[in-house]
Structure 1
Amino acid sequence: MDIDQLLKLVHTGDLNPEEAKVHIKELLKAKEPDGTADMGFARLDVHRERRTGFPEVIFGQGKTPEQLRAIFLKLMEHVDRVLATRVTPEQAELVLQDVPAARYDPVSRTISWRQKPFVPSKNGYVAVACAGTSDLPVAEEAAITAEMLGSRVERIYDVGVAGIHRLFERISILREADAIVVAAGMEGALASVVGGLVSKPIIAVPTSIGYGASLNGIAAMLAMLNSCAPGVTVVNIDNGFGAGYAAGVIQQNLEKKAKSPL
């Protein structure tokens, strides 16, 4: 039975959509038994969600708009959510022509699509904090990534150490989170400050924001790596995706354990 036959059965009412979805997934699995889809210029890992719990994410930087669109559409055949990062407006415009239901966020430079409505976590959340407005692109990349994993996200923005009282006004949100992402440039001190105030895991993201001696984020990265506050781990400069993914995995696993009868 091929996909056309399945669609006809759904149309006549002889097969419900959920049963058809199972058959289609089996057909696709048979077409790509090694878990990859070879597109010539790209070989997609279409079984990644089965191994890791989340589909392959598209890194848009360096790809042509046509390549990104083709990869996006191919992934949509296999999974119920697609995320692309570092997406330019030109790339997004081409994807949106074919997938009007996709959402492009110019701040985080992400484009995302969900087959089903987003139902966020009920029993916990990820907190994303950033030092200043200039850090927003990295913070939002982290926030949207965590949301794509299924986590509810609480945003705490513009709470840098130059006006530390702004952080104290939101400290309860940080303390109640399952995991915390902290994005900061300049000297990167915010991650250490948060680390001394909470008991939750912190994923620090150095950003490339700052004057010359910040060395495009190296100063912030070194400060975060040398933090004396326990519980702070560090991802690469401007890697909001990596931080959001790590925080989302932590939160989602905690939620699964909370639901488990054991």
Structure 2
Amino acid sequence: MDTYTILKQLLTQIQNGSLDVEQGLEKLRDFPVMDIGHTRIDMHRSLRNGFPEVVYGEGKTPQQVGEIFQRMEDQASVLATRVSSEMAEYVQTICPEAEYNALGRTLIRVRDEIRPLEGEVAIVTAGTSDLPVAEEARVTCGMLGTRATIVSDVGVAGIHRLLDRLADLRKARVIIVVAGMEGALASVIGGLVSQPIIAVPTSVGYGASLSGFTALMGMLTSCASGVSVVNIDNGFGAACAAWKIINLMQAWG
């Protein structure tokens, strides 16, 4: 049951008298934040943003992430990003239903049925080496109810590969472009389609790529108008931005 449903049920109980005001206040006292010591879980995020809090696994211990998954078991579906195989293995010992994506380093547990949105996200990678970031974006899209497909290895080094898939890309409502090296793919696609483009620079490339900084600068200075850029390797952030665009499109009809 998501936070919106929990809160709606609580208010309905107060309205119909099955719960008095004092009892309602007691239930609400700890409702916005679940404090488990090492982590304060934001339980109201789905009410504000439309999607629940996501766990950033890197830097946390397997035990900390495992406890977060346990404590949120009755509250909401959970997505954790940047999860190592060792961390996933530990969490799955206490939450066997958690699903690990080794390539994207994501760990999910789906509690309630995810409401699908109309429209699809196309996630385009310049090379196969960009797939881990693309997978993080794809899994995040799925958890938010957005259908996403990956079009892989269509970088500018062989531009004919991209042109072969152009008709497919134009069917998507939002396009996420994932590229390292010089990050030119975002500009190329930006000049060929009318959809919103969210560019993700990756830390893929030789020394002068500066661990993604060169691609970031290239995407920020793109000559293609309307290309938005997220941080280096931030597939999660790109997926959230794509979801917000599609969600608004659906709300406006």
Calculate the TM-score normalised by the size of structure 1.
Answer: 0.84
Question: Whole-Å Cα distance in 2 between the matches of residues 236 and 187 of structure 1?
Answer: 15
2:57 aligns with 60
1:90 pairs with 2:86: yes
- How far residue 256 of structure 1 moved from its aligned partner, in angstroms, is 3.0
* Pick aligned residue for 1:128 from 123, 127, 141: 123
Deviation at 1:171, TM superposition (A): 0.8
CA contact (8 A) 1:108 1:138 kept: yes
Unaligned runs of 5+ in 1: 1-17
> How many matched pairs?
237
Instruction: State the alpha-carbon separation in 2 of the partners of residues 255 and 141 from structure 1.
Output: 24
Q: Which residue of 2 aligns with 1:229?
A: 224
Corresponding residue for residue 109 of structure 1: 105
CA RMSD, Structure 1 to Structure 2 (Å): 2.2
Residues in 1 aligned to 2:232 and 2:114: alpha-carbon distance in whole angstroms: 29
CA contact (8 A) 1:46 1:75 kept: no
3-state DSSP class of the match of 1:176? coil
Alignment partner, residue 244 of structure 1: 239
Pair 1:207 & 2:202 matched: yes
Further displaced range: 246-255 or 160-169: 246-255
The equivalent of 2:47 in structure 1 is 50
| 1:71 is the counterpart of 2:86 | no
Q: 1:32 to 1:95 in 2, by over 3 A?
A: farther
**Structure 1's 135 and 243: CA in aligned 2 closer, same or farther, altered over 3 A?**
same
Match of 1:3 in 2: none
Superposed structure 1 runs of 4+ greater than 6 Å apart: 25-29
* Cα distance in 2, alignment partners of residues 208 and 99 from structure 1: 32
Q: Structure 2 stretches of 5 or more lacking a match?
A: 14-23
Q: Percent identity?
A: 53
Letter of the 1:217 partner, please give it: G
Q: 1:182, 1:200 → 2: CA distance?
A: 12
Using the TM superposition, give the Cα deviation of residue 246 of structure 1 relative to its aligned residue in structure 2, in angstroms.
0.5
Match among 162, 172, 176 for residue 181 of structure 1: 176
Instruction: Spell out, residue by residue over 1:183-215, the C-alpha distance to the aligned partner (whole angstroms, 9 max, x if none).
Output: 000010000001001111111000000000000
- The match for 1:149 among 139, 144, 148 is 144
Partner Cα distance (1:112, 1:183) in 2: 22
Q: Give the match's secondary structure for 1:144.
A: helix
> Does the 8 Å CA contact 2:69/2:95 hold for their aligned counterparts?
no
In structure 1, what is the Cα distance between the partners aligned to 2:31 and 2:99? 31
Match of 2:251 in 1: 256
TM-score normalised to structure 2 length:
0.87
